[in-house]
Homo-oligomer: A and B are copies of this chain.
Amino acid sequence: MSGEQKELLRIRRRAFQRERDLAQRLWRLGFAVVRGPASGAKAKRVIYPDLVAIKNRIIYIFEIKTKEKEDHIYIDEYQIIKLREFEKRSGGRAYIAIKVVDETDWRFVPIEALEKTGGGRYKIDKKFFREGLSLEDLYREASGDKPLTQYFKA
Q: What 0/1 pattern do residues 47 to 81 of A give for CB contact below 8 A with B? A: 11100101111010000000000000000000000
Q: A40 CB to closest chain B CB, in angstroms?
A: 13
- Copies of this chain per assembly: 2
A57 and B55 contacting across the interface, CB-CB below 8 Å = no
Residues of B within 8 A of A128 (CB): none
Which residue from chain B places its CB closest to the CB of A46 in the assembled complex? B27
A54 and B92 contacting across the interface, CB-CB below 8 Å = yes
The answer to the question of A90 belonging to the interface, with a C-beta cut-off of 8 Å to chain B, is: yes
A interface, how many residues as a size bin?
Answer: 20 to 34
- CB within 8 A of A54: which of B24, B45, B48, B89? B89
- CB within 8 A of A35: which of B24, B36, B54, B91? B36
Q: A39 CB to closest chain B CB, in angstroms?
A: 12
Q: CA A46 – CA B59 in complex, angstroms?
A: 17
Q: CA A90 – CA B142 in complex, angstroms?
A: 10
Q: CA A52 – CA B52 in complex, angstroms?
A: 10
